[in-house]
Amino acid sequence: MTNSIRIFRVAGIPVELDFSFLLLMLFIYILAYLGFVSLQLAILITLVFVTVVIHELAHSYVAMGFGVKINSILLLPIGGVSRMEEIPRVPRGEFLISIAGPLTNILIAMLVSVPILLDVTGPLTGLAGEFLAVNLLLALFNLIPAFPMDGGRILRAILAERMGHMRATEIAASLGKIIAVFMAVLGVFYNFFLILIGLFIYIGAEQEYQATLISSLLEGVTVADVMTRDPVTMDPDITVDEALEFVMSKKHMGYPVVEGDEMIGIVTFHDLSDAERTRNVREVMTEDVVTVNEDDELISALEKLNSMNLGRLPVMGDGRLRGIISRTDILRTLNLLRNKKMKREN
Ligand SMILES: [Zn+2]
């Protein structure tokens, strides 16, 4: 994402501000300067966003303890987002990572209550009281068991101890969607913002459910189980014209280019149809080939295909070309496994 600026690092985690967030803050301070809102409100809003960053840092910090790599924390006008790799499927890990955020808000509220109770806040009493209240609200709001919000993740972790990751996700995501719809309906009558949050929760719950379903269906399946063995390969020294004729007869979209015993590139129908007919395959092929190993988990091949936006990957074993695996192969396998699971359940 390029619409953000990196402002500082805490414990090695970069914190980034989205430009829309900066505009919002600027807007609020201009309003305060012009006298439309109080300076106290502007300061309170600033403090709340600082708190949101601390909340996300707490999640990230605990996650790092479980070996999760943290990419960054991004601050948007609607709140903070920790961009981290997938949380390990250890219920205790997810529980602690998720509860760290709301606990931080409770801790801040407790710290702020001390000077208020000691009556030493003077003219800042109003601000301190509001800041305390906001932190308690943030803690309570995040603890609503609407997956994928913190409370929903805590619920999934507790359920996962008893019934396994997949079933726990199913229940937590369903509950998350019900609460999301409820929030949106409530939003129609009370606050437009709730509709937006409901929508985010609904989409988030569905996405995480699908991702968990896919990784659970593909658990234990390796690339070798699904790949096409002995793939049709192409000779680097034939012309594009000859290659296109070859493609018409074989009807695949991509071919490893093999010279002797070695794969030296990959060429797709698109590479060929865009190229001059008299050139050689060697000149139009892609040389930097992304490959997978035949022993790799199928899910990691799917992630590679998705993240690099590729259609197929050559499969290697002992340094030699063993097969080819395409996105279509994986989706077909997924559908088969999904049907099998549904039949089992009915
Ligand atoms: Zn949180």
Residue 55 labelled as part of a binding site: yes
Expressed in angstroms and rounded, the spacing between residue 182 Cα and the centre of ligand 1 is 21
Last-in-domain residue among 217, 248, 269: 217
Written as tens digits, the pLDDT of the chain (346 aa) is 457 777 778 878 888 888 888 888 899 999 999 988 888 889 998 888 889 889 999 999 999 988 888 888 888 776 777 888 777 678 899 999 999 999 999 999 999 999 888 888 888 888 899 999 999 999 999 999 998 899 999 999 999 999 988 899 999 999 999 999 999 999 999 988 889 889 989 999 999 899 888 888 888 899 999 998 888 899 999 999 899 998 888 888 889 999 888 889 999 888 888 888 889 999 999 888 889 999 999 988 998 888 888 888 999 988 888 899 998 889 999 899 888 877 877 6
Order of all β-strands in the sheet with 70-76? 4-10, 13-18, 70-76, 79-84
**Bridge partners, 255 (sequence order):** 267
Residue 261 labelled as part of a binding site: no
Residues 6+ apart with CB under 8 A from 170: 209
Structure tokens at 67: 């070996």
**CA within 13 Å, CB half, 50:** 8
- Residue 173 resides in a domain: yes
Pick the closest to residue 148 from 94, 92, 70 (CA basis). 94
Range of the structural domain that residue 264 is part of: 223-337
236 and 165 inside one domain: no
Question: What count of other Cβ atoms lies within 10 Å of the Cβ of residue 32?
Answer: 17
Residue 59 labelled as part of a binding site: yes
180 and 244 inside one domain: no
Expressed in angstroms and rounded, the spacing between residue 265 Cα and the centre of ligand 1 is 45
Q: What is the pLDDT of residue 136?
A: 94
What total of structural domains would you count in the chain? Answer: 2
Q: What is the pLDDT of residue 257?
A: 93
- Residue 161 resides in a domain: yes
End-to-end CA distance of the chain: 44
121 and 244 inside one domain: no
129 and 227 inside one domain: no
Last-in-domain residue among 217, 245, 274: 217
Residue of 56, 94, 170, 208 marked catalytic: 56
138 and 237 inside one domain: no
Share of the chain above pLDDT 70, in %: 98
Q: What is the pLDDT of residue 186?
A: 93
Expressed in angstroms and rounded, the spacing between residue 150 Cα and the centre of ligand 1 is 5
DSSP, collapsed to helix, strand or coil, labels residue 191 as coil
CATH of the domain at 287: 3.10.580.10
156 and 191 inside one domain: yes
Q: What is the pLDDT of residue 2?
A: 55
Residues measured by CB to lie within 5 Å of ligand 1, the ion: 101, 142, 150
Question: What count of other Cβ atoms lies within 10 Å of the Cβ of residue 77?
Answer: 12
Expressed in angstroms and rounded, the spacing between residue 192 Cα and the centre of ligand 1 is 22
Expressed in angstroms and rounded, the spacing between residue 137 Cα and the centre of ligand 1 is 13
The answer to whether residue 170 is catalytic is: no
251 and 303 inside one domain: yes
DSSP code of 144?
S
Last-in-domain residue among 172, 191, 217: 217
243 and 206 inside one domain: no
